[in-house]
Amino acid sequence: MPLIIPSFQHHTLTLALNRPSRANAFNREMILELQFVLKDLATDAKVRCVVITGAGDSFSSGQDISEMELVQDQDISYHEHLRETYNPLILQIRQIEKPVIAAINGTVAGAGLGIALACDLRIAADDAKFTVGFSGIGLVPDSGVSLLLPALIGLARATEFTFSNLPISAQDALAWGMVNRLAPAEELTTTAQQIAMMLAMGPVKTYGATKKAFNRAMLPNLEEVLEYEGELQEIAGKSEEHKIGVDAFLKKERPDFL
């Protein structure tokens, strides 16, 4: 089964994350496959716009916790994992000189949230739910969330929803500037495709130069932040709180960090 389902029309390549039975949680294979596709389309002149969405009922619930459980007793470096997987993926999305749209359906959390926030535009279903997610399993935000979330919704709100791990509704996400617009869930794909088609007909090279300007002006330290997130995650990943959080998550219980 392909982990990324591509479809192409009107100069737009739509990439559907395809692990619906796991709410499109990322395993290593799916991350690397998405990296490969993005690298290939970056130089494909036929592709003038990109849409990232999720198959089924979710955009992405983030990193697959069951994959983390399998390696929990091994000496795995979370820092090295991020260097290989999410960090280059976030940089790819920001550096591709074409518009990238996140069409957000259902649940988005953790690293999935970081991927959505790295996109140029976010179109969300009106029943979408945004959860930062990391603190629930004793981890710190990674995948650029520590930079992108406060930049979009403000430090106070980002801190509240990171600490509390409560979901942000689609309506609040729109009001706070996290998403560009909402669409009824059944119209999300059509709405995203209409916006993508409009952008694909525009001056794409100019859009690419504009992304460079925005990256320089607003995200000049993105690469440094991704690296620092990895350093902090290395520490958090070896903590007792992380073990407690993962165990509770897998048992579908509330973690007791006391």
DSSP string for residues in 88-113: HHHHHHHHSSS-EEEEE-BEEEHHHH
Does residue 207 belong to any structural domain of this protein?
A: no
Domain that holds residue 102: 4-186
Does position 47 have pLDDT exceeding 80, yes or no? yes
Residues 93 and 100 sit within 8 Å (Cβ to Cβ): yes
Residue 258 pLDDT grade (very low, low, confident, very high; cuts 50, 70, 90): confident
Residues 150 and 158 sit within 8 Å (Cβ to Cβ): yes
Residue 74 pLDDT grade (very low, low, confident, very high; cuts 50, 70, 90): low
CA distance 133 to 25: 13
**Which of 21-35, 70-84, 153-167, 222-236 has the weakest average pLDDT?**
70-84
Does residue 142 belong to any structural domain of this protein?
A: yes
Phi first, then psi, for residue 129 (nearest 5°) are -130, 130
User: pTM, whole model, 2 decimals?
Assistant: 0.96
What CATH number is attached to the domain comprising 54?
A: 3.90.226.10
CA distance 101 to 53: 9
CA distance 165 to 188: 26
Q: What is the mean pLDDT of residues 98-125?
A: 98
| Number of domains composing the chain | 1
Residue 66 pLDDT grade (very low, low, confident, very high; cuts 50, 70, 90): confident
Residue 70 pLDDT grade (very low, low, confident, very high; cuts 50, 70, 90): low
pLDDT digits (tens, 9 = 90+) for 81-107: 999 999 999 999 999 999 999 999 999
Does residue 28 belong to any structural domain of this protein?
A: yes
Does residue 230 belong to any structural domain of this protein?
A: no
Average pLDDT, the chain: 95
Handedness of CA 100, 105, 109, 110 (dihedral sign): negative
Does residue 239 belong to any structural domain of this protein?
A: no
Does residue 215 belong to any structural domain of this protein?
A: no
Does residue 63 belong to any structural domain of this protein?
A: yes
Does residue 36 belong to any structural domain of this protein?
A: yes
CA distance 134 to 138: 7
